[in-house]
Chain A
Amino acid sequence: MDLDFTPEQQAFRADIRSWVAASLPQDIAHKVHNGLRQSRDDLQRWAKILGAKGWLGYGWPKEFGGPGWDAIERHLFEEECALAGAPRIVPFGPVMVAPVIMAFGSPEQQKKFLPGIASGDVWWSQGYSEPGSGSDLASVKTRAIREGDKYIVNGQKTWTTLGQYGEWIFCLVRTSTEGKPQTGISFLLIDMKSPGVTVRPIVLMDGEPEVNEVFFDNVEVPVANLVGEENKGWTYAKYLLAHERTNIADVNRAKRELERLKRLAQSEGLMDDPRFRDQVALLEVDIVALEMMVLRVLSAQAGGKKALDIAGLLKIKGSEIQQRYTELLMLAGGPFSLPFVWEAMEAGWQGDYIGGPQFAPLAANYFNYRKTTIYGGSNEVQRNIVAQTVLGV
């Protein structure tokens, strides 16, 4: 047992680091390092830079044009990107739907969809949750009725992150009401430009239209866009959820934000205040423990060993840590976290900052990150899963 990366892994990291340093636009990194608003263009620009290098699908195997990295290499790539201030990769295309298409899609679907995902040209959205189906995802009601060579889709999805930019959406739809709810679900790829698709942004409490409702009114979808078999969608969804989990702890970003917290605390004189400083120290311990847990999981994965039964814990702890650092950043800002100046979260804004530009996004970020224990399967659901694994029932 040892903690060191191999010389090959260290060389790999160094290569990634120098490439990211040379390739990541500085204006984008500035926004990420300072918690400022990222535009569609920022996210898209970085996606295309990665796409051109062949790294947007950084978890993809070689046969589909990916780099074929193992779990440790993927982690090192994520870490180098995060520390450099790269935006998070919008996961819906390259991280979520692509693995499903690779595993269960037809060769035609793979040929049609994967290149646009790999290059960053096509923006994908996720159509899972519905107003009545959150934690109880298997109860989805959006209906797809087959008529000849197409499905007619009616219903509503919600919480579709950045769906206002979406060009394609992968959806769980109900194709049968027979038997258990899980057995009547299909996995459908829908062109969001189809007649009958309406996207309505939902403004979150930080003032940002980050998620959307997506309505389907007699939308025609070619049967060729059904992934795998009809009524087997739940199996594919579970496969996808397993993929969503891998980087959900996001420990790399936590390390970066911890450093930002220390800088802010230092400049506000709080590193001399043992009461505040100790809170930063406790967060640091949490982050080190989470990183060790992540490394144990990755090492088992990369070594082809049996998956560790602690993977379910990563989302719980990771999201709690994300919430804690945004909370401490806001508290470090103190009274100057309180002004809400929407424009001040725009990079390069020339107006009067209240107290200083560093304070502008702190409370908004804190409010926004309350989502992390809700989305991707709420932490209550995660705990049920962990308990089920532990207890066997």
Chain B
Amino acid sequence: MNFEFSDDEQQLSEAVQRWVERGYGFERRTAIAKAGGFSAEAWGQIAELGLLGLGTSEDDGGMAMGPVAAMLALEALGRGLVLEPVAAVALVAASVLAQAPADVRANWAPRVASGEARVVLAYQERAARYRLQRVDTKAAKSGDAWTLAGTKSLVPIGDQADAFIVSARVSGNADDPAGIALFLVERAADGVKTQGYALQDGSRAAEVTLANAPATLLVAAGPAFAALELAVDTGIAALAAEAVGAMDKLFELTADYLNTRKQFGVPIGTFQALRHRIADMKMQLELARSMSYYATLKLGEAPAVRRRAVAQAKVQLGQSARYLGQQAIQLHGGIGMTDEYIGSHYFKRLTTMEMQFGDTMHHIGEVSARMQETAGVFA
């Protein structure tokens, strides 16, 4: 057992931290959020750091250094509240492209890794809530050609992406996982319409409407659902790392505030009730960090083991994010409520993350459905 990071991992982490601190300050972030929540310029800088190749193999032009390196990079991005969806493209979409037919993979994976092409997963539907298997988008085949019809919601940078990885139904009822396949649809294709908007955390998303849009099959029905689950689990592990980075920074801000804000002639950090609160926040932060490691280290396991571990991690992350976020605002008092204070943006980011890829209650259900007679890291 070893919870140390390798030199390479450490170097990557420091490089991302440096960029976040010097190149992605609160002012720049605010400007990007005001301009819609995505900056092509920042995206280019992220590509230069090599982060967009983190989930793509060297053979496909990437620089995959394994899940631990990805975790550290995401943690650093989370500390800086970076709006650009690095994990969604570099890890989530890449995990599906890695399973695509060779010609499709060769066409897209290297360009994703270099930052030339932005590909994102489009799976959310109106009736689905957090159930991946609930897919109403229909796939139809005529000769060798596929077309898709339906609407996907909350697609990250949907109106700024070059292509979507779309879950669509080739057979079965609306909840049948076996009837789902994964397709690639280019945004510029006929029948594709997007409507962009901001999310609560200032990041960008879109509704994507597909009206018999031409599509390329990535993973056929059957294996596709497993590929979708892997993509989402990869996304959850990345989200956990990002959330830990955000919590880490918000915790620091709050501790600083307790030491500097004075009332009744003393720093408010001298009041026992608030000291206990900051201790509880530290507890939630370290539990979350531990479960972020756990999710990342279990990503390579068999699907059943992986899913359970990732769901457990998401439950902890959700609880920690909510407690830490709410208490950070409370301990800051009025100033924590304001838009001009950075702390409120961490809180909104953490709230948003709790509801992405399934909220806490959803994942309690996932864990509950997978409970076994014995439990524990080595059970």
Contacts and interface: CB of A to CB of B under 8 A. Distances in A.
Interface of A: 129, 132-136, 139, 158-159, 202-205, 207, 211, 268-269, 275-276, 279, 330-331, 334-341, 352, 354-355, 363-364, 366-367, 370-371, 373-375, 378-380, 383-384
A136 B200 contact: no
Classify chain B: how many residues form its interface, as a range. Answer: 35 or more
A335 B351 CA distance: 11
Interface string B345-369: 1011001100110010100110000
Given A205-B339, A334-B129, A335-B130, A134 B334 contact: yes
Interface of B: 124, 126, 129-130, 153-154, 195, 197-200, 202, 205, 207, 262-264, 271, 273-274, 326, 329-330, 333-334, 336-340, 344-345, 347-348, 351-352, 355-356, 359, 361, 364-365
B344 A336 contact: no
B339 to A, nearest CB: 4
Given A370-B337, A373-B330, A374-B337, A276 B351 contact: no
Nearest to B334: A159
Contacts, number: 123
Given A202-B338, A205-B339, A370-B329, A275 B352 contact: no
A164 to B, nearest CB: 15
Contacts of A371: 334, 337
19 contacts: A134-B333, A135-B333, A159-B334, A204-B338, A204-B344, A205-B338, A331-B355, A334-B130, A334-B355, A335-B154, A338-B200, A339-B198, A340-B198, A355-B126, A367-B344, A367-B348, A370-B336, A374-B333, A375-B334
A336 B361 contact: no
B364 A275 contact: yes
Of all A-B residue pairs in the complex, the 10 with the closest CB atoms, nearest first, are: A205-B344, A136-B263, A203-B339, A363-B200, A340-B200, A136-B264, A338-B199, A370-B329, A159-B334, A334-B129
Contacts of A268: 129
A202 B198 contact: no
* Residue from B126, B129, B262 having most chain A Cβ neighbours under 10 A: B129
Contacts of A203: 338-340
A337 to B, nearest CB: 7
B311 to A, nearest CB: 13
Contacts of B273: 380, 383-384
A135 B365 CA distance: 41
Nearest to B37: A340
B129 A275 contact: no
B36 to A, nearest CB: 12
Contact of B356 (A204, A335, A363): A335
A337 B329 CA distance: 20
A331 B339 contact: no
B306 to A, nearest CB: 23
A336 B200 CA distance: 11
Contacts of A133: 263
B355 A374 contact: no
Given A205-B345, A379-B330, 17 more contacts: A129-B334, A132-B262, A139-B264, A158-B334, A202-B338, A275-B361, A334-B359, A335-B124, A337-B355, A338-B199, A354-B207, A370-B330, A373-B330, A374-B337, A375-B334, A378-B333, A383-B273
